[in-house]
């Protein structure tokens, strides 16, 4: 019998070996732009979280494209769960077959709701929320350590965003400062009521799931991330990263996505 931490470590050591080889080849100087298509499904839809926009997936998208996947980023309005789910559904409708749905941070809530779409064959959560149907996620999160970024929330006119100090230190702490300041300028302001939203379904209960825990996260408690990953029985890896592992560790996140793509059946 392994402890949960030992299991996660073993999964991290074994998951993505094939994916790592593909990505290593894709990153080599001689690799073609559309090298090595992944077997099975080829479509990936990526959903961004709060305080961000679709461009945060840029480095991951480049790696997925080079590995032969078709990747599309959603631009969430961050005005309500219903609006973000609708934006995701519009992109899902454009996909031509089985699709992997990926969510970072707040977008874990979005993909938990939108992931019941029959085109979706798997879910990937990146330092993400993963609520149960109708769950008060705020109450669940309150059982875990309060992350420092929460103190940096600035509210105005019914919307909120992180202060520059909180963004640079607690949200994107392992991103070079010059790049982090650009990301700060791009951040999406969220409706003050956004995080109080509750899902009506939990797609992770019926779809295979993967989870990338950010162990140095100061925006979402790593302990909470491990809890929800274990609850959904997700294949889990841990990345020594800030909240934005998709930006600071794109290779690892692309590897998880490609691993998920390689192991989905191609049917919803």
pLDDT digits (tens, 9 = 90+) for 173-200: 999 999 999 999 999 999 999 999 999 9
Q: How many domains does the chain have?
A: 1
Cα distance between residue 131 and residue 241, in whole Å: 22
Q: What are the backbone dihedrals phi and psi of residue 193, each rounded to the nearest 5 degrees, phi first?
A: -90, 0
* CATH number where 179 lies: 3.40.50.1820
In a domain, 255, yes or no: yes
Within 10 A of 181 (CB to CB), how many other CB atoms are there?
Answer: 15
| Assigned domain for 9 exists | yes
- % the chain with pLDDT above 90: 82
Q: Using the predicted structure, report yes or no on whether residue 5 has a pLDDT greater than 70.
A: no
Record the tokens describing residue 98, joined without a space. Answer: 């089985």
In this model, does residue 253 exceed pLDDT 50? Answer: yes
* Ranges 31-40, 100-109, 128-137, 160-169: which has the least confidence: 31-40
Q: Do 101 and 47 contact (CB within 8 A), yes or no? A: yes
pLDDT confidence tier of residue 266, bands split at 50, 70 and 90? low
User: Is residue 225 in a domain?
Assistant: yes
pLDDT in tens, 51-85: 999 999 999 999 999 999 999 999 999 999 999 99
Cα-Cα-Cα-Cα torsion 97, 102, 108, 111, nearest 10 degrees, comes to: -10
Neighbour tally for 99: CB within 10 Å: 27
Q: What share of the chain is helix, strand, coil (3-state, %, to 5)?
A: 45, 15, 40
DSSP type of residue 203: G
- What are the tens digits of pLDDT across the range 105-161? 999 999 999 999 999 999 999 999 999 999 999 999 999 999 999 999 999 999 999
Structural domain for 185, as ranges: 4-263
Residues in Cβ contact with 16 at an 8 Å cutoff, skipping those fewer than 6 apart = 237, 255, 256, 258, 259
Structure tokens at 34: 């559309």
The per-residue b/e assignment along 8-29, b for 16 or more CB within 10 angstroms, e otherwise, is: beebbeebbeebbebbeebeee
Whether 159 maps to a domain, the answer reads yes
What three-state secondary structure class fits 82?
helix
Query: Do 107 and 175 contact (CB within 8 A), yes or no?
Result: no
Q: Report if residue 44 sits inside a domain.
A: yes
Residue 50 in any domain: the answer is: yes
Continuous segment of H or E residues that includes residue 226: helix 222-231
Does 1 score more than 70 pLDDT? Answer: no
Closest CA to 241 of 257, 207, 218: 218
Q: Is position 268 within any domain? A: no
């Amino acid at each position: 019998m392994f402890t949960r931490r030992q299991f996660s470590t073993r999964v991290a050591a074994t998951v993505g070996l094939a994916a790592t080889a593909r990505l290593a080849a894709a990153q080599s100087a001689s690799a073609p732009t559309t090298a090595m298509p992944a077997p099975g499904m080829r479509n990936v839809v990526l959903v961004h979280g709060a305080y961000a926009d679709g461009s945060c997936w840029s480095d991951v998208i480049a790696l997925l494209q080079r590995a032969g996947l078709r990747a599309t980023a959603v631009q969430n309005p961050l005005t309500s769960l219903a609006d973000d789910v609708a934006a995701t559904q519009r992109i899902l409708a454009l996909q031509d077959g089985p699709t992997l749905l990926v969510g970072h941070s707040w977008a874990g809530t979005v993909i938990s709701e939108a992931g019941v779409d029959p085109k979706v064959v798997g879910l990937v959560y990146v330092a993400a929320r993963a609520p149960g149907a109708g769950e008060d996620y705020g109450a669940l999160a309150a059982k875990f350590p309060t992350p420092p970024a929460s103190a940096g929330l600035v509210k105005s006119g019914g919307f909120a965003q992180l202060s520059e100090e909180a963004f640079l230190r607690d949200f994107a702490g392992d991103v070079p400062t010059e790049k982090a300041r650009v990301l700060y300028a791009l951040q999406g302001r969220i409706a003050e009521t956004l995080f109080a939203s509750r899902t009506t379904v939990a797609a992770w209960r019926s779809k295979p799931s993967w989870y990338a825990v950010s162990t140095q996260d100061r925006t979402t408690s790593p302990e909470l991330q491990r809890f929800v990953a274990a609850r959904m029985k997700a294949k889990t890896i841990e990345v020594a990263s800030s909240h934005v592992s998709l930006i600071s560790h794109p290779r690892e996140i692309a590897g998880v996505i490609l691993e998920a793509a390689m192991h989905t059946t191609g049917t919803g």
